[in-house]
Amino acid sequence: MKTAEDVKVSVFGVRHLSPGGARHLLQELDQIQPTAVLIEGPSDATDLIGDLVHPSTVPPVALLAFTDEMPVRTALWPFAVYSPELQAMRWAAKHQVLCKLIDLPSGAALAMQDLRRQTEIAPSMEETQVDAESSSIYERIAELAGEHDYNTYWERNYEHNQNPGSYRDSILAFSAEMRELGEDRERTQQPQEYAYNHVREAYMQRQIVQTIEAGHDPAKIVVICGAYHAAALERPTQGAMTEDEYIAMPSRSSKLTLMPYSYYRLSSLSGYGAGNHAPHYFQLMWESMHAGKLEELPQVYLSTVARTLRESGTYRSTAEVIEAVRLAEGLASLHGGSAPTLLELRDAAQTLLGRGDLSVVAEALARIDIGTKIGSLAEGVSQTPLQDDLNRQLKRLKLTKYKTSVATDLSLDLRENRRVSSQEAADLDLNRSFLLHRLELLNIPFVRFRAGAADRAVWAEDWILQWTPEAEIVVVESTLLGETIEVACAYRLREKLDRCTSISEASLLIEIAVRCGMTAQMEDGRRVLQNLAADSRDVAQIASAAAKLANLIQYGDIRRIDTKPLIPLLEQLFYRACLYLSEASNCNDEAAYGIVAAMSELNQIAQAHDDTVEVSLWTRELSELSEKDDRNPKLSGFACALLLERGEMDAQQCAAEVSRRLSPGIPADLGAGWFEGLSMRNRYALLSRMSLWVQLSEYIDSLDDEQFKRALVFLRRAFSSFSAHEKTMIAETLGEIWGVDTEQAAEILTGELKEDEDKMLDELNDFDFGDF
């Protein structure tokens, strides 16, 4: 190195996202008039500075680095309008001086993030201890200063500090002391963190040295970095990274992009971290500072709270705002402060504007502290191919206006719109639906399908659209799956199909493929489903898959998808389900519920697709099941009901079957169970069939007491799904058979239960099912 040992550059330590820091930094820059401004931030993002300071870039925005291969690692650098770094970049752009980011390139930072993560897993116990310890240092500082928390301490002592020289010096001294306190412990307990900081600083020093070598006067170089690193960077020549070390640094291939960010995300410390708790408040503070009226911040803050309250219907007078300002100032003076901090403003708002009740002002406070602001970027500013593709498609489908943070409903009509001239316009909603389904497949939280709409009509879809920075992040991450949305979706579907192990899953994926308008993937899914179905004997699953396919085939043309390739598969599935039905019907009552559903689905398919599936086989299987005595009686009864419904069984056959099933001597669980199955469909047909009830009545008469109790359990269950009206009709029918006055019987049956009747029913509930 050519430079002398004692070269010194001007270092300005900041807290990221600090309006006070930004203000003082600007003054400092004006004073020094540097020729180079070096900023902590990934050095490979230097090219993006131009976009960051672009006039149409509206903060908050963030710089996102991500590895372009699995596993995805991301790192985020958010900027608000009051970020010292962003203000410094703007200053440099305005004065046309060199501006560079000098921290580790993102590839190296992400690679080391991986290394740190790996070594961190083991000593997790210790780590939590360390965390508790270091956070308690901050708490102790706040306590010693008589403040409620560290944020308040910081705000009062640094943000409110308007004295230019003292700000810089005190923050440097403060962070140097803090570092001294924590460094030793970090070295022993978190060696990887310590090493990482060391590498970063060495790299930053190297960058500074390179800038000096490029001919900048060290006195005219301003370095802006986190206060923690300030002391280490003042003398860049001591310990700067050498060429060999630079080459030896681990690195992963990575990409960088700018993305819009939101105040809401900035305020939530979870996820990508690096936030601050009240972004909009700090923006207000920055604006007040900029106007040179910091002392008016309490008035601005509290009157905004009052105005927000009024807008939502809670009236608060100006007099109360005045008193609130006075109270906040009184609170500040109790702490010897020059101006109220956020905490005191909130307390004053609660006391005066909320009249003691936090819940009254909570929403207004959240709005003013956090704010709903979302940043935006100039069009075409450093986007990933997938982002570009999405924007292009949104524009083509006229969806761009939905890209806001307010949740908006969108109803689609998938039918071809014949009133418009161009084909493009006619298919607008259909193409929108394809895109939205694709976004949903990619788990991009921009779209939410609103269930329930499908009941209304098959051609209608309801969506909720809401743009969030999270959505942007997921879009960026999805770049790894493919360069366009269609390619990414194909990849995701392929992935899912490969992992798919059940018939129902496979049929769901076929459905998704159809909804996304991806014919090739539908074909893949068909193959997978066919393979799986060949080995399966699970009638319930096969039937539900077949029902899904049948649905797709029936309504596929709405989406202009050729679903013909699915027809052979439907035939096959239906055939298998029929063949295994009899075998599957040999089951307990619990499993019978699933089979009942499957039988209903199969019956529906047989009706809707009688031209494709083998209906005669279905009828045959039903008759067989209906006649067999060794299957689950409920299923036999249900089969009988289906046959009746299909007109495959006439009244005479039915009467014969009923008398066979309900003849004296048949155990109650078989007889009544069968009746339960029978009564699950076409009830009106049953209700009007007098002979059936006569037979039932005779059967019940034939039972002894113990058997009667058993039968009662089944019959009660069978009738439980009948409506009150239907029950009355049954009661009247039975009354007629028994020769009871119709009205009288109905009255007794529909009236309230008497106490002793209640008790008898309760006893029935205690009935011992153990011997079933």
Partner 1 sequence: MANEQANIENSNVIRLPAELLYRQEIEALKKEDKGVVPPGWQMSPRAVLTYITGGKAGKLDITPKYIGNRRLVEMAIATLVTDRALLLIGEPGTAKSWLSENLAAAVSGNSGLVVQGTAGTSEEQVRYSWNYAMLLANGPTPEALVRSPIMRAMETGQVARFEEISRCASEVQDALISILSEKTVSVPELSNETSANKGFSIIATANTRDRGVNEMSAALKRRFNIIVLPAPSDLDTELSIVKKRVSEIAASYDLQASPPADEALLKVVTIFRELRSGMTLDRKEKLKSPGGVISTAEAISLLTNSMALSASFGSGEMTDADLAAGLQGAIVKDDDKDKLIWKEYLDNVMKKRGSEWRGLYQACKELSE
| Contacts to partner 1 by CB under 8 A | 148, 317, 319-320, 323, 326-327, 329-331, 333-334, 343, 347-348, 351-352, 355-357
> Please, are residues 673 and 717 in contact by the beta-carbon 8 Å criterion?
no
Q: Minimum distance between the CB of residue 321 and partner 1, rounded to whole angstroms?
A: 12
Q: Minimum distance between the CB of residue 331 and partner 1, rounded to whole angstroms?
A: 4
**Closer by beta carbon to partner 1, 48 or else 331:** 331
**Closer by beta carbon to partner 1, 349 or else 447:** 349
**Closer by beta carbon to partner 1, 227 or else 331:** 331
**Closer by beta carbon to partner 1, 211 or else 351:** 351
Helix, strand and coil in the chain, % to nearest 5: 65, 10, 25
- Per DSSP bridges, beta strands 36-42 and 98-103 are parallel
Q: Minimum distance between the CB of residue 155 and partner 1, rounded to whole angstroms?
A: 15
Q: Can you tell me the distance from the alpha carbon of 704 to that of 707, in angstroms, rounded to the nearest whole number?
A: 5
Residue 16 exposure: Cα atoms within 13 Å on the Cβ side: 19
DSSP secondary structure string, 265-277? HHH--STT----S
**Closer by beta carbon to partner 1, 345 or else 522:** 345
* Eight-class DSSP state of 241: P
Q: Minimum distance between the CB of residue 133 and partner 1, rounded to whole angstroms?
A: 21
**Closer by beta carbon to partner 1, 315 or else 684:** 315
> Please, are residues 551 and 593 in contact by the beta-carbon 8 Å criterion?
no
Q: In what order do the strands lie in the sheet with 74-79?
A: 74-79, 61-67, 254-260
Q: Can you tell me the distance from the alpha carbon of 31 to that of 25, in angstroms, rounded to the nearest whole number?
A: 10
Q: Can you tell me the distance from the alpha carbon of 83 to that of 365, in angstroms, rounded to the nearest whole number?
A: 22
**Closer by beta carbon to partner 1, 316 or else 609:** 316
- Residue 718, Cα to own-chain centre: how many angstroms? 42
Q: Minimum distance between the CB of residue 587 and partner 1, rounded to whole angstroms?
A: 40
**Closer by beta carbon to partner 1, 316 or else 631:** 316
> Please, are residues 212 and 139 in contact by the beta-carbon 8 Å criterion?
no
What residues have CB less than 8 Å from 752, skipping those under 6 apart? none
- Residue 396, Cα to own-chain centre: how many angstroms? 26
Q: Minimum distance between the CB of residue 128 and partner 1, rounded to whole angstroms?
A: 21
What are the phi and psi torsion angles at 449 (to 5°)? -80, 130
**Closer by beta carbon to partner 1, 83 or else 351:** 351
Distances (CA, A) of 368 to 156, 318, 652: 19, 18, 78
Task: Tell me the CA end-to-end span of the chain in Å, nearest whole number.
Answer: 92
- Residue 171, Cα to own-chain centre: how many angstroms? 40
Count helices and strands (H / E) in the chain. 37, 10
Q: Minimum distance between the CB of residue 307 and partner 1, rounded to whole angstroms?
A: 18
* Eight-class DSSP state of 262: B
Hey, which residues does 548 pair with through a beta bridge?
none
Q: In what order do the strands lie in the sheet with 460-465?
A: 408-413, 460-465, 447-449
**Closer by beta carbon to partner 1, 318 or else 652:** 318
- Residue 208, Cα to own-chain centre: how many angstroms? 43
**Closer by beta carbon to partner 1, 146 or else 565:** 146
Task: Compute how many other C-beta atoms are within 10 angstroms of the C-beta atom of residue 532.
Answer: 20
DSSP secondary structure string, 697-709? HHHHHHS-HHHHH
Q: Strand, coil or helix: what is 368? A: helix
Q: Minimum distance between the CB of residue 358 and partner 1, rounded to whole angstroms?
A: 8
**Closer by beta carbon to partner 1, 362 or else 426:** 362
Q: Minimum distance between the CB of residue 430 and partner 1, rounded to whole angstroms?
A: 52
* Eight-class DSSP state of 758: H
Q: Minimum distance between the CB of residue 345 and partner 1, rounded to whole angstroms?
A: 12
DSSP secondary structure string, 248-261? HS----EEEEEEE-
Q: Can you tell me the distance from the alpha carbon of 85 to that of 224, in angstroms, rounded to the nearest whole number?
A: 7
Q: Strand, coil or helix: what is 682? A: coil
**Closer by beta carbon to partner 1, 212 or else 352:** 352
Q: Minimum distance between the CB of residue 715 and partner 1, rounded to whole angstroms?
A: 39
**Closer by beta carbon to partner 1, 148 or else 290:** 148
Q: Minimum distance between the CB of residue 148 and partner 1, rounded to whole angstroms?
A: 6
Q: Minimum distance between the CB of residue 335 and partner 1, rounded to whole angstroms?
A: 8
Q: Minimum distance between the CB of residue 351 and partner 1, rounded to whole angstroms?
A: 5
